[in-house]
């Protein structure tokens, strides 16, 4: 019996990996991601679910009236952000529950699955992260599945919520795809989220995947001026909008990184990243406020990493440059280099 239970659990988890990677969503954290390379057609995001109908892609979908005021695409679940490095997850949650299932050997993509308390053997609770580029370890998709959970999803939704609350929060879905166990997968056009409700109309899974629904080719504006203005507010919610979730500040003495949930890092009074960004004598905030020289903006294209724009500060004795890239409909600071650290290509090390 024990061996059978373990086998069933492994099969369920393996199916969840397949479903986590099947959607064809594009992400703008450096590369486009193709999640349909597995050769599967199912679009269900829930382990153990197969779609009814001749065409499992959309053949049995119920089409509802289109709604134009859907809430916007989302960036985070449980405080972890698309575009964040998987090392931040491991720092907080430890190694994944099923390390033997991380790697898809054929495509080189990775999925990290963390079992959560509660649930059952038939319906386990778990949090999963899809990684499109193992060398960089950038999170491209996040999925939370189970009967109930106190984990943060998005827009105030929690697992176990009613169908009415889901509809009131997200609006009517663009498509509904029924599953063989009475569940319904809700898909939303031009949004990066999907949800699934069980046969009792309770929310059992939420998923965000890639950058669909965010603004394409956004205007960069006067990034340095706007970034400085945000820093001067000391408002973390405003400041975070100008930072990549895996932003780094590189100085002679250290490389400051996001080591936990993105916003938790910025709110943490003991965070070295927060200190270097806002409060140290040579903080980014102080440097930008006191800089009076010219700022040179150049396009930067990298072979092994993301491309974007670099702002150079030739008149500063401390700050070398700020490298910004596009992610989730906005340009955000990706690397901040101090002059006492020689500029190198981190992706070629």
pLDDT at 73: 96
Last residue of a domain, one of 180, 209, 238: 209
pLDDT at 103: 72
Decide if 177 is inside a domain: yes
Sign of CA dihedral 70, 71, 76, 81: positive
Decide if 215 is inside a domain: no
Q: Are residues 149 and 241 in the same domain?
A: no
pLDDT at 105: 52
Q: Are residues 170 and 69 in the same domain?
A: yes
pLDDT at 150: 82
Q: Are residues 70 and 171 in the same domain?
A: yes
pLDDT at 133: 79
Tell me whether strands 330-338 and 319-327 are parallel, antiparallel or unpaired: antiparallel
Q: Are residues 197 and 62 in the same domain?
A: yes
Q: What is the CATH number of the domain that holds 325?
A: 3.10.450
Last residue of a domain, one of 161, 178, 209: 209
Does this model's pTM top 0.75?
yes
Q: Are residues 245 and 321 in the same domain?
A: yes
Of 275, 77, 62, 38, which Cα lies nearest the Cα of 173? 62
Decide if 240 is inside a domain: yes
Q: Are residues 319 and 297 in the same domain?
A: yes
Q: Which domain holds residue 19?
A: 2-209
CA angle 46, 50, 56 (to 5 degrees): 115
**H/E run at residue 164:** helix 163-170
Decide if 216 is inside a domain: no
Q: Are residues 59 and 191 in the same domain?
A: yes
Decide if 135 is inside a domain: yes
Q: Are residues 205 and 236 in the same domain?
A: no
Radius of gyration in angstroms for the set of CA atoms belonging to the chain, rounded to a whole number: 21
Q: Into how many domains does the chain fold?
A: 2
Q: Are residues 182 and 39 in the same domain?
A: yes
Last residue of a domain, one of 209, 240, 260: 209
Average pLDDT, consecutive stretches of 10 residues, N- to C-terminus, the chain (349 residues)? 38 39 35 27 33 35 54 96 96 92 70 87 87 87 88 92 96 90 92 95 94 92 97 98 97 94 97 98 97 96 89 97 96 95 47
Q: Are residues 261 and 325 in the same domain?
A: yes
Q: Are residues 193 and 339 in the same domain?
A: no
DSSP per residue, 288-326: HHH--S--EEEEE--SSS--EEEEE-TT-SSEEEEEEEE
Q: Are residues 17 and 138 in the same domain?
A: yes
Give 21-52 as a 3 state SS string. HCCCCCCCCCCCCCCCCCCCCCCCCCCCCCEC
């Amino acid at each position: 019996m024990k061996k059978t239970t373990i086998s069933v659990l492994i099969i369920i988890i393996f199916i969840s990996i397949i479903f986590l990677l099947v959607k064809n969503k594009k992400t703008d954290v450096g590369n486009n991601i193709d999640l349909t390379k597995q050769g599967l057609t199912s679009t269900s995001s829930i382990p153990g679910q197969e779609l009814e109908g001749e065409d499992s892609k959309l053949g049995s979908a119920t089409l509802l009236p289109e709604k134009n005021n859907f809430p916007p695409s989302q960036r985070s679940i449980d405080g972890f952000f698309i575009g964040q490095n998987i090392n931040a997850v491991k720092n907080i949650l430890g190694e994944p529950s099923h390390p033997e299932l991380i790697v898809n050997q054929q495509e080189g993509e990775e999925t990290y699955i963390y079992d959560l308390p509660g649930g059952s053997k038939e319906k386990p609770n778990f949090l999963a992260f899809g990684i499109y580029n193992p060398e960089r370890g950038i999170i491209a998709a996040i999925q939370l599945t189970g009967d109930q959970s106190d984990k943060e999803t998005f827009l105030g939704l929690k697992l176990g919520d009613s169908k009415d609350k889901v509809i009131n929060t997200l609006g009517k879905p663009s498509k509904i795809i029924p599953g063989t166990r009475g569940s319904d997968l809700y898909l939303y056009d031009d949004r990066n989220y999907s949800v699934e409700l069980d046969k009792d109309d309770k929310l059992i899974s939420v998923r965000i995947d890639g950058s669909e629904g965010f603004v394409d080719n956004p205007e960069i504006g006067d990034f340095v001026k706007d970034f400085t203005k945000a820093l001067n507010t000391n408002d973390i919610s405003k400041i975070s909008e100008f930072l990549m979730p895996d932003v780094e500040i590189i100085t002679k003495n250290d490389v400051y990184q996001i080591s936990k949930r993105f916003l938790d890092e910025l709110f943490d009074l003991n965070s070295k990243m927060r200190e270097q960004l806002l409060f140290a004598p040579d903080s980014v905030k102080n440097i930008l406020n006191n800089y009076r020289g010219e700022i040179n903006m150049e396009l930067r294209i990298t072979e092994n990493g993301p491309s974007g724009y670099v702002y150079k500060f030739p008149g500063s004795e401390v700050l070398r440059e700020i490298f910004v890239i596009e992610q989730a409909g906005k340009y955000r600071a990706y690397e901040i280099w101090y002059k006492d650290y020689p500029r190198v290509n981190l992706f070629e090390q």
